[in-house]
Amino acid sequence: MAWFQQTLLLPSFSKGCHPITPRILDALPELAQIKTGLLHVFIQHTSASLTINENADPDVLVDLDRVLDCLVSEDFPYRHQEEGSDDMPGHVKASMMDSSLTIPVTDGRLALGTWQGICLCEHRRRAGRRRIVLTLEGEKEG
């Protein structure tokens, strides 16, 4: 069994859902060595989240962000308001979604479905860079 861990520092993204699969693959060249394993992807923030979703039509991610905005209003009377009107809604959206994903690895590739990709959901309008911890574990080729 082999273990690899890498922290990926993403640039600041605008509010919305953004495909990040290529960035993850670039950060983990060791993936090619794994015959069978798992990749755990964890975001170290509380106002952004991760999801696996459509990677072909960008409108899907736009609609996902719009639905989240409808479900979690900035107008709710939140007690926590020190960091701006989008902060507490960002925390709620992140809790509704997830802070980590586990993806199977098969023959050196992520075993995602044909139309699936890993996405960062940025819930703040003016967020900074985001850190993602990538932990790869599996049986090496050969």
Q: Tell me what pLDDT residue 142 has.
A: 72
Indicate the DSSP class of residue 69. Answer: H
**Coil/strand/helix, residue 68:** helix
Digitized pLDDT (tens) for each residue of the chain, 142 residues in all: 999 999 999 999 999 999 999 999 999 999 999 999 999 999 999 999 999 999 999 999 999 999 999 999 999 999 998 899 999 999 999 999 999 999 999 999 999 999 999 999 999 999 999 999 999 999 998 7
Q: Where are the domains of the chain?
A: 16-134
Closest CA to 4 of 105, 99, 100: 105
CATH of domain 16-134: 2.60.120.460
Q: For residue 82, what pLDDT is reported?
A: 86
